[in-house]
Amino acid sequence: MDYQDAITALADPTRRDIIDRLRGGPLPVAAIAADMPISRPAVSQHLRVLSDAGLLTVTPQGNRRLYAIAPEGVNQLRRYLDTLWADALNAFERAAKEKAKGGSK
Amino acid sequence: MNDPIKKTITVPLSARGAFDLFTTEMDTWWPKASHSVKGPKSILTFPKHKGEPIIETGEDGEEAIWGRLIAYDPGKYLAFSWHPGRDESEATVVAITFTQTSTGTRCDLTHGGFEILGPSADAVSISYLRGWDLVLGCYAGAAKQPAFA
């Protein structure tokens, strides 16, 4: 699911570093990779993971591609957690009403 | 954006009744079909002592640890780390207060980082937690930049 993918993607410090570098605005891979201690193909691989997790957008511009933070990415995380607790607390409420009636196990 | 998630619900039970239902009786109501690691037939075991794990046991006997108790004050307050399906180093924190009202008990749930525990938090027991920042803080801080408005 999106939530799991995003957490997994952000668990890696290099990928968090990439997100940090994109705070100022969209960048091509060459600018992102500049002075990073890993190879450019490795950076590209991290960019792919972040994109697949819905955390980055990729926009072709001429013969290069611009990477940017996807504002929607974090909303997916919040929505997932929000749904989780809404579901859980609804179930909790139903069980509480049963228990109040003396119908609980 | 990285504010904690907050949920409030009032149930027709005493504070102690609501607390026990949420904790030791969690297996009877948790929506395992949609929200579990091991599936609908697994068993949830909720601990009573600080530091002990919340365990989901699958049909095959394999265990998944969902989190650990950080605070356990029956009828009043509950806090636990939360990382179902994830490594403990990626844990977030859930805290719930139980407040008796004229109609039952109000349960206020907050899901966020360890800062939601406030100044009384035991630094030793939560020092490894950085999950909420990891999940939302780092990313949300970046996403808020005006370049993306």
Look at B142 and A23 and tell me if their CB atoms are within 8 Å: yes
The predicted structure's pLDDT at residue B142: 46
Look at A104 and B138 and tell me if their CB atoms are within 8 Å: no
The predicted structure's pLDDT at residue A12: 79
Q: Rounded to whole angstroms, how far apart are CA atoms B51 and B88? A: 13
| Position A86 in a domain | no
- Average pLDDT score over chain B: 80
Per-block average pLDDT, block size 10, for chain B (149 residues)? 78 95 94 86 95 94 92 95 77 90 93 71 49 48 39
Other Cβ atoms within 10 Å of B41 Cβ, number:
11
Whole-number Cα distances in Å, B75 to A100, B48, B107, B108: 16, 12, 10, 13
Rounded to a whole number of angstroms, the CA Rg of chain B reads 16
Residue entry with tokens 């989901």:
B56
| DSSP symbol at B89 | G
The predicted structure's pLDDT at residue A30: 92
Smallest CA-to-CA distance from A80 within B23, B96, B136 is with B136
The predicted structure's pLDDT at residue B116: 72
Look at B134 and A20 and tell me if their CB atoms are within 8 Å: no
Q: What is the pLDDT of residues A8-64, one digit of tens each?
A: 787 777 888 898 788 778 999 999 999 899 999 999 999 999 999 888 999 998 989
Look at B30 and A91 and tell me if their CB atoms are within 8 Å: yes
Measured CB to CB, residues of chain B less than 8 Å from chain A are: 1, 5, 7, 9, 11-13, 17-18, 21-22, 25, 28-31, 34-35, 85-87, 90, 104, 107, 109, 111, 134-136, 138-143, 145, 147-148
As for how many domains chain A has, the answer is 1
Which pair of structure tokens corresponds to residue B108?
């206020």
| Position A81 in a domain | no
| Enclosing domain of residue A27 | 2-71
The predicted structure's pLDDT at residue A88: 93
The predicted structure's pLDDT at residue A70: 84
The predicted structure's pLDDT at residue B122: 56
Look at B21 and A26 and tell me if their CB atoms are within 8 Å: no
Look at A73 and B11 and tell me if their CB atoms are within 8 Å: no
**Cβ-nearest to B138 among A16, A84, A99:** A16
Contact B105, B14 (CB under 8 A): yes
What residues of chain A, 47 to 66, have a C-beta less than 8 Å from chain B?
A: 55
Look at B12 and A10 and tell me if their CB atoms are within 8 Å: no
Q: Rounded to whole angstroms, how far apart are CA atoms B100 and B86? A: 34
ipTM tops the 0.85 cut: no
Residue entry with tokens 């511009």:
A61
Inform me whether the pLDDT recorded for A75 exceeds 90.
no
Whole-number Cα distances in Å, B76 to B7, B58, B116: 16, 30, 16
The predicted structure's pLDDT at residue A103: 52
**Cβ-nearest to A88 among B35, B85, B104:** B35
Confidence band of A4 (pLDDT split at 50, 70, 90): low
Q: What is the pLDDT of residues B97-135, one digit of tens each?
A: 999 999 999 999 998 877 777 665 554 444 444 545 544
Q: Is the full-model pTM beyond 0.90?
A: no
**φ, ψ of residue B52 in degrees (nearest 5):** -80, 155
Work out the angle at residue A70's Cα, subtended by the Cα atoms of residues A68 and A71, and round it to the nearest 5 degrees.
Answer: 125
Contact B13, A99 (CB under 8 A): yes
The predicted structure's pLDDT at residue B72: 94
The predicted structure's pLDDT at residue A105: 44
Strands A27-28 and B77-82: what pairing? unpaired
The predicted structure's pLDDT at residue B121: 56
| Position A21 in a domain | yes
Among A55, A79, A89, A97, the residue to mutate for chain B (most B Cβ within 10 A): A89
Q: Rounded to whole angstroms, how far apart are CA atoms A61 and A63? A: 6
The predicted structure's pLDDT at residue A2: 55
Look at B147 and A85 and tell me if their CB atoms are within 8 Å: no
Question: CB contacts < 8 Å between A and B, how many?
Answer: 113
Residue of chain A nearest B37, judged by CA positions:
A4
Supply the DSSP string of B25-71, one letter for each residue. Answer: TGGGTS-TTTS-SS-TT-EEE--SSTTPEEEEE-TTS-EEEEEEEEE
Residues sharing a CB contact under 8 Å with residue A88, sequence separation 6 or more, in sequence order: B30, B31, B35
- Any idea which architecture B5-148 has in CATH? 2-Layer Sandwich (3.30)
Task: Map residue B75 onto helix, strand or coil.
Answer: coil
Give the CATH number of the domain where residue A35 resides: 1.10.10.10
The predicted structure's pLDDT at residue B60: 94
User: Where along chain B do its domains lie?
Assistant: 5-148
Q: Is the dihedral of CA B18, B22, B24, B26 positive or negative?
A: positive
Instruction: Answer whether A31 touches B (CB < 8 Å).
Output: no
